[in-house]
Every structure is written in C-alpha cells, then in structure tokens.
Structure 1
C-alpha cells in the first residue's frame, strides 16, 4: 500500500504526525512548504518529482481555494482501484471526485486536537469506496482520536460547526478565563494553568463519568453557593446558550457557503 499526500498545512501536518507509526503505511508528501516531516515520511518538493510512480490512495490536504488548480494532475499518479481521502473543509466528495477523474472519495472532517490523538472526526464515504478502503480510513482516522461514520454527507457541515470549529470556541473560553484571572491578580503563568486545567479536568471527568452533562453540572452546583451564583449570570436572558447557538449557526452557514 502506497499513500500520497497532497498538501500539508496545519491540519494535514497535525494528522500526519499521528500517521507515522509502524503499523500504518508510509506516506509520501507533496507540498511547497518547507516542513519538518516525521520519520517514515518521504517529502518531495514538486509533483513532477514523482513522474512514473503510482499510488493506491491520495490524501487531499489542499486548501479549498487551490483545489481546481492543484488536484487534477494527481489523478495520473494513482493506480486503478485507488481512492482519495479528503480532509479539506467545505469541499464536497463529488467535487473532489470530479477533479480527480471520477475517483471514489472518502471525506473526513477532523479537528485540531488530532495532533495529540485527542481529535473528534466525522467520516463519509462515497459508494465506490470498498470495504478494505474503509478499513484503512478507519485505521488512519482512529490514530488521531475518535471518529463517527456518517451516512449523509450533508451532516458534515453541522459537524464542522460543532466539532471542527469547536476547539476554537473552547480556546476562546480558556483565553477569557486566563484574562480574567490575570485581571484579578494572578500571574500570567498561574492564570493560564488555572484556565487550561479547569477545562481539561472537566473534560476528563465528563469522558470517564457516564452521567449526563446536566447531572455533572448539578453535582458541582450547591444551591445558593458560588457556582450557582455564577451560573445564574451565565444563563441570564438566554446567556451562554443563545451565544453558543448563534456561534454554531454562523459557522454552519459559512460551511455551507464554502461547499
């Protein structure tokens, strides 16, 4: 099994760092950027350097606005029966397939924690993807964290708004907590640790405890206590619920526009 990777930006590099273990096929990367590639990765500067080579799979990690110009030549480097795995946000499987001469496409929507094996990804496969190819996709995506197979590609846009962009929302909450802590007298290092470990601890507890998130919230909230007072403000006039709903809707609308 020979895998070729087109492009290697932030998300591509994050996932590539998890794909270099001994149990996964070696990957050849074509990218104009001067990146530091992990062991077992062959990095070439130009697609012309691969003249005469043939591959079983193509990982598409090209920016959406570059697809039309960049992808078509890759079709000549793929063996009969090959497939493409796209990690490009907002670009449909059918569009990518069309640019690659009808090649069957599996599409994955990852998020940035894939870099440390803690990502959450959604995967959709066109009908032409074989059972063996689905196994390879599962192996690759599982190396970056959890995954959910979707029967309807249309659901990827909402997944993007929730989980693909979700780390950005969480980082903004953490950044705000750090900023408030600094304003209240903590050092920058102390404030960052407070913000990061508070969110990380809550996430770890939610992962290990099967009770509902509502119940976990209630368990940390004593009636009339400090958390209760804070939550009262957080819920005021719709509060965080309305803000997050508007945030997700805006991200979803943009994902649809990019499609």
Structure 2
C-alpha cells in the first residue's frame, strides 16, 4: 500500500521504523520538522510538495488539538475506498467523519512500549472498513507489539485507561518499589537492578504460564512466611485492589471527558 503519515513525533517515528522493517508498504511523511527516518521513507515538510498524490491509507499522527485545523487539507489525498488510521488519543471517529465524510476509519490506541516493539495496542474500526483494511492495520500494529480489537469506542477508552495509561502506573510502582529497597539500605543502582529484574522475571513467568495469576502468587507465598507478611501489608483489606480500581476508573472518566 501507499501510505501517508501526517506528523511524525517520537511514537509515530518509532512505529514507522518497525513498519519499514516488517512490511513492503511505501511510506511518505509530512512533518515540518523533517525527522530523521529510514532512507526508504519519503519525508516532506508540506502537503504542497506531494503534487496532488493520493494514498491508500492516511495515518493521523499529530496532536488531537491540531486535527481540526490540519486534516481538512488532506481530504483529497485519500483514494476512493482508502482508509484513515488515527493514533491521536481522544479524538472520536464522529469528529473525523465531520471533517472527512463517510470513509473507512480506524482508531488506534498504542502505548509507550510500542517504542521497543512490546506495545499493547487497542483497535476500533467503523463499519465502512473492509476485512482487508482491518487486517492491514492489525498487521502494522502487531509489528510494534500485540493488537487487540474492541467492539466500541467506549471500550477503546477503557483500553486507554488500562494499557494506554498503564505504563505510567507501572513506572510509579517501580519508582516506589525502588525507593523502598533503598530505604532498606541498598544503593540506588543495586535497588534499581533488583527491582527491575524481579518485575521482569515475574512478568515473563506469568506470560509463559497458563496458571491463574492468583495461583502463581500463592506458589511463592508460604504460610507465615516473608511473602505473606509483605502481601498482608501491601493489600490489607483489599486496599491495593481498591486503589487500582480507582486509578483505572479515573483514567477512563478522563478519556471520556477529552472527547
């Protein structure tokens, strides 16, 4: 496919580099900053430099607040039957339709680990998308991690609250965990290495296992042992469960507000 990307910041650039390696698509980027990208990517500063060329797919990778001002200029850059893909958070499909009319549209919610090919990306398509178009978008997103289709934009907002914002929650937990290790007397570099390897090992173990997470937790928790003592403090009276529900609920409500 002949694909145009509008804007190419850190996330868009990282995804594009992986797409270049994983596909035979032709990519053109419009970005005034003219970012440094693989040689096979055509990079232009302005739409006027395309000479009226039209594309099979347009990927919208600019900030949501810029879309209403920028996107109308690209309305004639999409082939008949082409598909528009948005990685701009919080800009609903109905708002794209107001600008572009009735065209196939896919909203994509990637998360930060897509930068290293370990993303968790939510996908939602309108009813005008063909199965082939959905498969093409899915393949692109699988190149940067795992792709998860949802059945509504509301579910995509929930994906935002879980995986989109999720790395921030995990980084906060890691930060607090490292601080606790330092409080016990470990040097900062020792605390960081111990905590990160512990989380990496536990996560990978869970990823490779078919057992319930609760069973894995129980397997390391001896009665009256150190892990049980720690867990009793960590989740006393379900405090951690409540905190995680409140965290994801707050993010979900904010995702709705931003639309």
Provide TM-score, normalisation by structure 2: 0.94
Q: Is the 8 A contact 2:22 2:143 kept in 1?
A: no
Q: Which residue of 2 aligns with 1:48?
A: 48
* Structure-to-structure mapping, 1:22-171, within 5 angstroms: 23-171=23-171
What SS does the corresponding residue of 2:223 show, helix, strand or coil? Answer: coil
Q: Which residue of 2 aligns with 1:241?
A: 241
What SS does the corresponding residue of 2:124 show, helix, strand or coil? Answer: strand
**RMSD (Å) for aligned C-alpha atoms:** 1.5
Structure 1 residues 188-238: Cα deviation after superposition (integer angstroms, max 9, x where no partner): 222221222111111101110000010011111111111100110111243
Instruction: State the 1:34 CA deviation.
Output: 4.7
Q: Which residue of 2 aligns with 1:256?
A: 256
Q: Which residue of 1 aligns with 2:193?
A: 193
Q: Is the 8 A contact 2:34 2:43 kept in 1?
A: no
Q: Does 1:4 align with 2:35?
A: no
Cα distance change of structure 1 residues 22 and 120 upon mapping to structure 2, 3 Å threshold: closer
Provide TM-score, normalisation by structure 1: 0.94
Q: Which residue of 2 aligns with 1:220?
A: 220
Q: Is the 8 A contact 1:233 1:239 kept in 2?
A: no
Distance in 2 (CA, whole Å) between partners of 1:124 and 1:157 is: 10
5+ residue gaps, structure 2, are none
Q: Is the 8 A contact 1:2 1:57 kept in 2?
A: yes
5+ residue gaps, structure 1, are none
Q: Is the 8 A contact 2:8 2:29 kept in 1?
A: yes
Instruction: State the 1:142 CA deviation.
Output: 0.8
Instruction: State the 1:27 CA deviation.
Output: 1.5
Distance in 2 (CA, whole Å) between partners of 1:101 and 1:79 is: 13
Distance in 2 (CA, whole Å) between partners of 1:257 and 1:51 is: 39
Cα distance change of structure 1 residues 113 and 39 upon mapping to structure 2, 3 Å threshold: farther
Q: Which residue of 2 aligns with 1:231?
A: 231
Q: How many residue pairs align between the two structures?
A: 259
Structure 1 residues 96-149: Cα deviation after superposition (integer angstroms, max 9, x where no partner): 132223322011111111122211111111111112211211110111111121
Cα distance change of structure 1 residues 222 and 194 upon mapping to structure 2, 3 Å threshold: same
Q: Which residue of 2 aligns with 1:174?
A: 174
Instruction: State the 1:249 CA deviation.
Output: 0.8
Distance in 2 (CA, whole Å) between partners of 1:120 and 1:176 is: 24
Instruction: State the 1:24 CA deviation.
Output: 3.6
Distance in 1 (CA, whole Å) between partners of 2:159 and 2:93 is: 15
